[in-house]
């Protein structure tokens, strides 16, 4: 595989395409890393959006940001959003787009699929929603693996 792989008209740097063991697919690898870094976080499953949701308070924001950056290789905001891979752009636009102070954390999972965390601060200045989803054409198997990790 070359260093860069074209996805639509965007270039996705494949250096962060997870290196997996023979028995582990890229999505499993990324989910394992994400869940191991977020062991104390409790998630709610939003079946209508097919996302996991949790909220954090202002005093936990720096630690949450550090935790997300340790697993998800790319971070986009309203100023850099147009440089995100096209699968991420489409996903975020379907979620209502991005506004100032919002962030998108992304980990490529191979084959045009990405694990995405949407960082959406509330208007109260105290609370932030974190929504985890899959951007791209997730197979039924991938969606099943993803949902079972969060829907307990």
Q: Determine the pLDDT at residue 21.
A: 53
**In 3-state terms, what secondary structure has residue 20?**
coil
On whether the CB atoms of residues 27 and 115 are closer than 8 A, the answer is yes
Residue 23 pLDDT class (50, 70, 90 cuts): low
Range of the domain at 127: 4-18+26-150
CATH of the domain at 65: 3.30.310
Q: Determine the pLDDT at residue 40.
A: 83
pLDDT tens-digit map of 61-112: 999 999 999 999 999 999 999 999 999 999 999 999 999 999 999 999 988 9
On whether the CB atoms of residues 129 and 136 are closer than 8 A, the answer is no
Residue 146 pLDDT class (50, 70, 90 cuts): very high
Residue 30 pLDDT class (50, 70, 90 cuts): very high
Domain count, the chain: 1
Residue 20 pLDDT class (50, 70, 90 cuts): very low
CA nearest to 129, candidates 96, 89, 152: 96
Phi/psi of residue 91, each to 5°? -60, -50
| Distance in angstroms (rounded) separating the CA atoms of residues 101 and 88 | 18
DSSP for 94-112, written as a single string: HTT---TT-EEEEEE-STT
């Amino acid at each position: 595989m070359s260093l860069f792989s074209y996805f639509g008209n965007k270039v996705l740097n494949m250096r962060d395409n997870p290196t997996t063991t023979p028995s582990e697919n890229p999505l499993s690898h990324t989910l394992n890393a994400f869940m191991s870094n977020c062991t104390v976080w409790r998630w709610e499953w939003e079946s209508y959006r097919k996302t996991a949701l949790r909220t954090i308070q202002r005093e936990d924001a720096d630690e949450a940001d550090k935790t997300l950056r340790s697993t998800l290789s790319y971070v986009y905001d309203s100023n850099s959003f147009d440089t995100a891979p096209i699968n991420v752009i489409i996903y975020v636009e379907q979620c209502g787009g991005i506004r100032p102070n919002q962030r998108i954390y992304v980990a490529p999972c191979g084959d045009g699929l990405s694990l995405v965390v949407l960082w959406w601060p509330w208007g109260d200045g105290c609370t932030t929603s974190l929504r985890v989803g899959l951007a791209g054409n997730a197979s039924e198997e991938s969606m099943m693996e993803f949902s079972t990790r969060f829907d307990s």
